[in-house]
Structures are given as C-alpha cells and as structure tokens.
Chains A and B, each alone.
Chain A
Amino acid sequence: MEIKHTALAGTLESSDVQITLSEGKGISIDLDSQVEKQFGKQIKKVVTDLLAKYDISDVKVHVVDKGALDCTIKARLIAAIQRATDTQNEQNWGVLG
C-alpha cells in the first residue's frame, strides 16, 4: 500500500505512543524513547512487521514513545496507516494475527 499523505495517531501521554507517517523512499524509522536502549529494537520490530503486513515499503515513520506496550504501538500504528492510506473504513483483520 502507498502512503498518500501525512497522518498522525496517538498521544504523548504516559504509556502511549505518538506515531507520524509520511511519504518517503524505503522505510526509515526515527524513534524517540527514554527506553530506547532496552526496547528500541523491539519497538522497531513491531513497526516493521506491521508495515510488512500492510505491504508498505516506502514510508517515513516518526515514533515518540512514552513507554507504550506492544499492543498500544500496534493499535496506534494501524490507526496512522489507515489515516495515511485513506482506508479508515476498510478494516484489515488479517494484520491482527
């Protein structure tokens, strides 16, 4: 799928994550997190795995993590993807597996 325009989901409050997706070449992830040392790899893995399920290969991702759990990161990323690809009304249940 193709990123059609910039979109944002999530907040900067504790235990949440704010994700901004915009057009880019290849996948680039810019991660800001106080727990980057411990969980940086894991957060990036959650993001790249989910992008792969949506077949998105060109996107700029800005992740500002405030200690979110994986399920929160997934939920926020799905919301951002749906907004950025104008597919809010087409649920893709397959990606939740």
Chain B
Amino acid sequence: MDTIKMDLSDPYYYQQWKKLIENEGLYIENLDDITETIGIYDEDKLIATGSYFNNVLKYLAIDQEYQGGNVFNKLVSYLISNLASQNIFHVFVFTKTQYQSSFEYLGFKMVAKSRFSTLLETGDYSIDQYISELPKVSGNNISAIVMNANPFTLGHRYLVEEAAKQSDMVYVFVVSQNASLFKTSERVELVKAGTKDLKNVVVITGGDYMVSFVTFPSYFIKSRSDVVTYQTELDAQVFKRIAKSLNITKRFVGEEPYSPTTEIYNQSLKKILAPEIVLEVLKRKEIDDDIISATKVRQAIAEADLETIGKYVPKTTFDFIKMNLKDLLRRINNGN
C-alpha cells in the first residue's frame, strides 16, 4: 500500500477522490476548505483518503472492502504526522457519532457531541486546559457574550452594557479566528478599550472553542443551511461545556434580522443551552432608525467615510480606525 499526497486540482485524482467520498455518503462542501489531501492506494485503486483544513481533519473515507482493518489507523496516523511536521500538534476531527469510538482508540478525546455529530481532539492542548486557564470569577449571576467584533461598535457596547447591568459578572469571549478585516489582536484590544469602564466585564479570547474554523466553519465559509444547523448545534454544545465550568447561567446575543446563518445559530443556542443556561436575545440598538452593524462600519471604511463610522462606533474604535485607515483600506483592496 502506498500513501501519496493528492492534488485535487488534477481531474485524474479529483474523480477518484470524489467517487470514494460520495460512496461513503459524505457531501463535498467546498474545495476551498481543504489544505491538503492524502490518498492510500492498493496497486492502482484508491482505498482511503483524508484531508485537513488548518488543524481539522475532514473528508475521511475508506473503501468498504478495507474497513475495519489497519487502514483507518494508517490514514489518521499519516495525517497527524503530516500536521506535526508543520508544527501543528493540536488536531480536531468532526465525525458521525458512530465513528466516535474509532477515534477514541487512536487517542482522541471528545470535546462535545450533538445529535448529528461528535467533535474530538488530540495532541498537546485540550478543552480542559483551555478552561483551566480562564480567569475564574465569583457571583450568582454570571453571564457571557461571544462576539467577533469586527470591529467593536456601539451595538456591541450596548449588548455588553445591558449584560453588565443584569449580571454580577460578564465574560466577553472574542472570536479568535484570524479571518476578519480587523486582526484578532486588534479586535480584542478594541473590545477591551471599549468596555474598560465596566468593572464587572472580563474580556478573553475564545480560542479554538468558540465560533472558530473548528466549531463553526460556516460562519466564515458560506454553507448550506442544514450544514449550518449541525455545526451550530455542536458549537452550542462546546459553549455549554465551557459555560457550565465557569458557572455561566445566561448568554446574551443580539437579534439577527439580516444574517440567516446567525439566525440559525441563535435558534440552535436556544435549543441546546436550555435549561441550565438561558439565552437572552436583545433587540439591536438603532441610531436614527438605523440598526448598527459591523458590516455597515466595514462598508463605510471601504468608502473612507469617517462621518458614518463615527455614528456607529465608540470613540476608542473610531480613533483606531482613523489612525489606521490607510492600512485598513489596503487590507480591503487585498481582498480581506
């Protein structure tokens, strides 16, 4: 048996790969979410394949005739070694629930489980370690908000303020995936700067565990709505696990009239978090009958329209944008 890297832009490999993937009942979402693909061959026949995107294994499929043997171990082992050679040691996999134990035999541990799928991880980091590193606070009434804040607007500020009024303590988790116009470090700093006066607010990054390419790829890559549903239910389960260990009893989200993906997300959260954690949906803040959104701010940045930006963001964010306008425009032109 030979193991090779498969170039899916080559129709020869793509056809073999597609056939095996589809025979195993997997749905090909989008080739953009694959970093690398490997194939195991028996003579000329492709008998197993697996891919990864960043640190997430995906599209694992083994020909019926070769299942139940050593091929699965060989496949996963090869993918993990490949990632290790790029210094990626913390590896995730999304899988159907019936394959959970196969991965557990290979040292993977469950992060969370929904009715559709299981998320497992292995390597040099874990959700338990992430939880142990989070600042612990005391209080009876602890709440949380998860935001991308790309960038931090008056709408975000309103959400945090309301949560702070209603809670002893508020954790603000900032999405740490670097896939937005504003870099992760900038987004975190702007959230911190914009909430500095609120003494009962703790700002932390969400790591791989909150709305990331791992838990919720379709937040970043357009996907079908059923895919969004299964991803959001899993993301909600991951959040629930973290929230329970921090004694969080409420999560605040903004109402989502425009984005269908976020609307599905809110529905999944409501369903999964109950009964231990209450989902509080707040009406969006309006200015001059106009809902504030980070999308509008980014559009205004693209048009270098400082006046409009000033209407939607707090001074701290405004000053940052003004100072870095050229750089932001350059990022937009480069397709970010």
- Of all chain B residues, the one with the shortest Cβ separation from A32 is B107
List 30 interface pairs A-B (beta carbons < 8 Å), by A numbering.
Answer: A5-B87, A6-B87, A6-B89, A6-B123, A8-B80, A8-B84, A8-B89, A11-B73, A11-B77, A12-B74, A12-B106, A12-B107, A13-B73, A13-B77, A18-B77, A18-B80, A18-B107, A22-B124, A32-B106, A32-B107, A34-B105, A60-B124, A62-B107, A62-B122, A62-B123, A62-B124, A64-B106, A64-B107, A64-B122, A66-B73
Number of interface residues of A (CB under 8 A): 17
- Of all chain A residues, the one with the shortest Cβ separation from B123 is A20
With A32-B107, A62-B107, A64-B107 as given contacts, are A6 and B124 in contact (CB-CB < 8 Å)? yes
Q: Chain B 37-80 against A: per-residue CB contact (8 Å), 1 yes, 0 no?
A: 00000000000000000000000000000000010011011101
Q: Is B81 an interface residue (CB 8 A)?
A: yes
A26 to B: closest C-beta gap in Å: 15
Q: Provide the residues of chain B in CB contact with A38, threshold 8 Å.
A: none
Q: Provide the residues of chain A in CB contact with B77, threshold 8 Å.
A: 11-13, 18
* A42-72 with Cβ < 8 A to chain B: 60, 62, 64, 66
Q: Chain A 18-35 against B: per-residue CB contact (8 Å), 1 yes, 0 no?
A: 101010000000001010
Cα(A36)–Cα(B98), bound, Å? 23
Q: Is A89 an interface residue (CB 8 A)?
A: no
Q: Is A14 an interface residue (CB 8 A)?
A: yes
Give the interface residue-count category, chain B.
Answer: 10 to 19
Q: Which 5 pairs of residues, A with B, have the shortest CB-CB distance?
A: A64-B107, A22-B124, A12-B77, A8-B84, A11-B77
* B120-165 with Cβ < 8 A to chain A: 122-125
Cα(A8)–Cα(B122), bound, Å? 12
Supplied contacts A6-B89, A8-B84, A34-B105, 14 more A-B pairs, CB within 8 Å: A6-B87, A7-B84, A11-B77, A12-B74, A12-B80, A12-B106, A13-B74, A14-B73, A20-B123, A20-B124, A32-B105, A62-B107, A62-B124, A66-B73
Q: Provide the residues of chain A in CB contact with B89, threshold 8 Å.
A: 6, 8, 20, 22
With A18-B107, A20-B89, A22-B89 as given contacts, are A12 and B123 in contact (CB-CB < 8 Å)? no
* B95-125 with Cβ < 8 A to chain A: 104-107, 122-125
Cα(A22)–Cα(B87), bound, Å? 12
A64 to B: closest C-beta gap in Å: 3
- Of all chain B residues, the one with the shortest Cβ separation from A31 is B107
Q: Provide the residues of chain B in CB contact with A12, threshold 8 Å.
A: 73-74, 76-77, 80, 106-107
Q: Provide the residues of chain A in CB contact with B78, threshold 8 Å.
A: 11
Cα(A66)–Cα(B69), bound, Å? 13
Q: Provide the residues of chain B in CB contact with A5, threshold 8 Å.
A: 87
A81 to B: closest C-beta gap in Å: 15
A57 to B: closest C-beta gap in Å: 18
Cα(A86)–Cα(B275), bound, Å? 50
Most B C-beta atoms less than 10 A away, residue of A11, A12, A20: A12
